[in-house]
Chain A
Amino acid sequence: MDKYTYQLYSQILRIFWRFFLIVLVIAFIVILFPFVKDVLIMFIIAWLLSVLLSPVVDFLESKGFKRGWAILIVMILILALVGFSFSLIIPGIIRTVEALTSKLQSNVITEFSMKIEAFFEKNFNNAELARNVTARLNEIGVNLLNSLGEFFKNVGAFLASMIIVPVITFFLIKDSRRFKGVIISKVPNKYFELSLNILHKVESQVGKYIQGQAIDAVIVGLLSTLGLFLINLRFDNPVPYFVFIGMLAGIANMIPYVGPVVGAIPALATAILNNPSNLGLVLLWIVIMFALVQAIDNAFVSPLVVSKSVNMHPLVVIVVVIIGGNIAGAIGMLFAVPLTGIVKVTSSQVIWGLKNYSLHSSPLFKENALTKTKGRETA
């Protein structure tokens, strides 16, 4: 075997091993993913929370609090706020779900089925078709109730994560610098400054983006709540639990393009279920109110608080939201855009780093090269 054939052979072998390793890693991730999905989601939520809460903790630390105490104070305040809000909202939601369930189970479906059967018999003279349609409707109703049941089964897991997520968040905030230090200590010297710089830049940009999104969500949530409150005042309370629905709209607003539409649906659905006398007008006002909130958000709030470093094409947003939904349901949809944003910021920073840092070997740093260097000694 001549020298060139040997070099080519070893190069092909190297490429093959790299490819094999990548395939192995991907296969490993795909196989492991279903088992670690829940833990991974908890970690992502905890990490996002740590990014959100870190500035407040840093502020308290700058006022003389020990970091551990500062985190505890912030987390206790947040948990108290969430607990208080839930204690106000949850009983209402349970009452609504119960009312809905009993409505669906009893009169409504039966009455509705009878009406449909009568309608089909009268107009098409086809009782079998009518029975098929009502049977299908019943099936949908039962499925809906089953999924509600599943939701309540998941409450246990939800409560467990309510304990685990704060614990992970606590340590992520407290020891973030040490974790980063450990990771960066494993990086070879050649890539050390590059990695450290990229890590800090990504952290800063992602932090600003997530914090901006959170502030935007709170403002949109408050504006929506205020709008729904005014509609309730004007039209004899067609949207109960408007605080919850308004805040939901704020959270949904974090998903660009899709969120504002999704955010309006609970308000419209509640109004339809309540069926006030002037339903059409109420629905129109709800749509106008949400459009107005969006206009205010797009014109004033978003440009001020949301970082532009993570701007994405609408098509990309829709695709990643669908993928996120497939992987982890509603939470996946909510986190798809921020996570894609993180990937985007990271890749752009890596490209920046590779362009600006000289990673190629220079003759200066080759063995014996120093002998060629002439100069003055300034010890």
Chain B
Amino acid sequence: MDNPIWGNGIFRKKKKDDDIFALLKDIPIFSDLIPKEIAEIEKIMHRRVYKKNEPIIRMGDPGLGMYIIVKGSVEIIEEKKKGENRILAKLKDGSFFGDLALLDESPRSASAIATEDCDIIGFFRPDFLDLLYRKPKLGIKVLFALAKTIGERLRRTDEMLMNTKEKKVAKHHG
């Protein structure tokens, strides 16, 4: 992040991070944005570095926003009280998680832990809401893409549920 004092005005360099730009372009909720809009989104993102085995989010914590893995790998884990935790997913560079938390503060449904040193960017609900107010056209574009992503995921879940149900019925009759 730029220094807010020396990075101001004429001293600020126009630095374009092409890697991040390409990475964001691959994320479904930002894929429809033009370069200028992606630059605007980049301004309100937070870049973090996590060490191996360091938790990124914890199951049960209030949801705040989504994370995109720039470099490294992350495991999504369901924590169980009895200690038998279940790995739900292993995510690599360019993957994202926690996007539902952009909509509300519901508790996180799983934990995320860095399985190697990670470079991650976070995009959070308060900044997103602020963007929706300040730049409604851009905000609505992101919101619409987010709705589309969640809709597709819901459709896939429905299909999987139907398949499981059909398999169960077939097993029961056969």
Contact = CB atoms under 8 A, between A and B. Distances in A.
Interface string B41-68: 0011011101001111110111010000
B85 A177 contact: no
A181 B1 contact: yes
A61 B61 contact: no
B126 interface: yes
B134 A62 contact: yes
A200 B47 CA distance: 17
Interface size on A, as a range, is: 35 or more
A198 B90 CA distance: 30
Contacts of A184: 46
Interface of A is mostly: helix
A367 B134 contact: no
A370 interface: yes
Contacts, number: 105
B83 interface: yes
Contacts of B133: 58, 62
A62 B136 contact: yes
Interface residues of B, number: 46
A99 B110 CA distance: 75
Nearest to A365: B55
Contacts of A377: 87, 90
Contact of A375 (B56, B60, B88, B124): B88
A369 B85 CA distance: 10
A153 interface: no
Interface string A325-369: 000000000000000000000000000000011100011111101
A179 B4 contact: yes
A374 B133 CA distance: 44
Contact of A358 (B1, B60, B64): B60
Contacts of B90: 377-379
Contact of A181 (B46, B79, B115): B46
A185 B87 contact: no
Given A189-B48, A374-B84, A365 B113 contact: yes
Contact of B64 (A193, A364, A365): A193
A362 B79 contact: yes
A175 B134 contact: no
A378 to B, nearest CB: 5
Nearest to A363: B83
Given A184-B46, A196-B64, A373 B126 contact: no
A367 B55 CA distance: 11
Contacts of A204: 126
Contacts of B141: none
Contact of A185 (B1, B54, B60, B135): B1
Contacts of A234: none
B85 A364 contact: yes
B85 A375 contact: yes
B85 A61 contact: no
A369 B61 CA distance: 20
A182 interface: yes
B46 A178 contact: no
B167 interface: no
A193 B48 CA distance: 11
B43 A364 contact: no
A122 interface: no
Contacts of B55: 189-190, 362, 364-365
A192 interface: yes
A372 interface: yes
A175 B9 CA distance: 11
A372 B62 CA distance: 26
A379 B4 contact: no
A193 B54 CA distance: 14
4 closest Cβ contacts across the A-B interface?
A: A375-B87, A200-B126, A178-B4, A375-B86
Interface of B: 1-4, 7-8, 43-44, 46-48, 50, 53-58, 60-62, 64, 75, 77, 79, 83-92, 111, 113, 115, 124, 126-127, 130, 133-136
